[in-house]
Structure 1
Amino acid sequence: MQIYEQELTVTKDQLDLLNHVNNIEYVRWVQDIAAAHWTLKSTQEIRLKYFWVMMSHHIQYKGEALLGDTLLLKTFILHSKGAKSTRAVEIFNKTTGKLLTTSETVWCFMSSDTNKPARIPEDVANLFS
């Protein structure tokens, strides 16, 4: 299993009325790290032929993040079959090591030519194994 990581620092515009990170930011970060991992591992040629769409998303909140916290985001593929791939994202407070959020998202692999689901080719699947 290949793990891709990113760090970020919580900013004021990411806070809610309770002064901790708004739930929508976690969803944004899950989407953003998935896109960054795809862009890093795939070629321009592959990205012109295929893209991903989110089918379902489950997130569990285990702790809060506050202004100025440095977060460590980790993502990896749990499994892929046919046109679907399930990606996990874990978000940690980097200073304390505490796990703040876990998520599993099912993504559908799409053909740019047809705008329909496409079976994930072996060479693409191998990019993340």
Structure 2
Amino acid sequence: MQTYKQELTVTKDHLDHLNHVNNIEYVRWVQDIAEAHWNSKTTEDIRNTYYWVLLSHHIQYKAEALLGDALLLKTYAVKSGAVRSTRTVNIYNKSTNKLLSTSETIWCFMSHKTNRPVRIPDELTHLFS
């Protein structure tokens, strides 16, 4: 499995009323890194032909992130079926290597032409395995 990584720093805009990262930010980061991973591995032609929709999302919050924390996000595809793919995203405090959250998302592969699920081509499955 190929791991895709991103780094970010917690800003004031990420915080909630308790002064730690708002849960919705973790969800946004999970979605954003999945999209970035897809974009890094595919051509514009592929992206104009296919897209993904989120079917299921499960996230576990293990520790808080605070203003100024440097975070490391890691994602990889766990498994792929005919039209679905399961992805894991782990978010760490970069300086302590502490796991802050882990998520598993299930995505459905779609055709832009039909807006219906379509079988994931083998060449795309191999890009992420």
TM-score (norm 2): 0.99
Residue 22 of structure 2: aligned partner: 22
Q: Distance in 2 between matches of 1:11 and 1:48?
A: 33
Residues matched between the structures, number: 129
Give the unaligned 5+ runs of structure 1.
none
Residue 111 of structure 2: aligned partner: 111
Q: Kindly provide the amino acid, as one letter, of the partner of residue 68 in structure 1.
A: G
Deviation at 1:20, TM superposition (A): 0.2
Deviation at 1:36, TM superposition (A): 0.2
1:11 equivalent to 2:5? Answer: no
Residue 47 of structure 2: aligned partner: 47
Q: Distance in 1 between matches of 2:7 and 2:128?
A: 20
TM-score (norm 1): 0.99
Residue 99 of structure 2: aligned partner: 99
Q: Kindly provide the amino acid, as one letter, of the partner of residue 32 in structure 1.
A: D
- Structural RMSD (CA): 0.4
Provide, for residues 55-82 of structure 1, a one-character-per-residue CA deviation record: whole Å limited to 9, x for no partner. 0000000000000000000000000001
SS of structure 1 residue aligned to 2:119: coil
Q: Distance in 2 between matches of 1:122 and 1:112?
A: 18
Give the unaligned 5+ runs of structure 2.
none
Q: Kindly provide the amino acid, as one letter, of the partner of residue 29 in structure 2.
A: W
Q: Percent identity?
A: 68
Provide, for residues 31-51 of structure 1, a one-character-per-residue CA deviation record: whole Å limited to 9, x for no partner. 000000000001111101100
Q: Kindly provide the amino acid, as one letter, of the partner of residue 75 in structure 2.
A: T
Q: Kindly provide the amino acid, as one letter, of the partner of residue 57 in structure 2.
A: H
- Which stretches of structure 1, 4 residues or more, deviate above 6 A after TM superposition? none
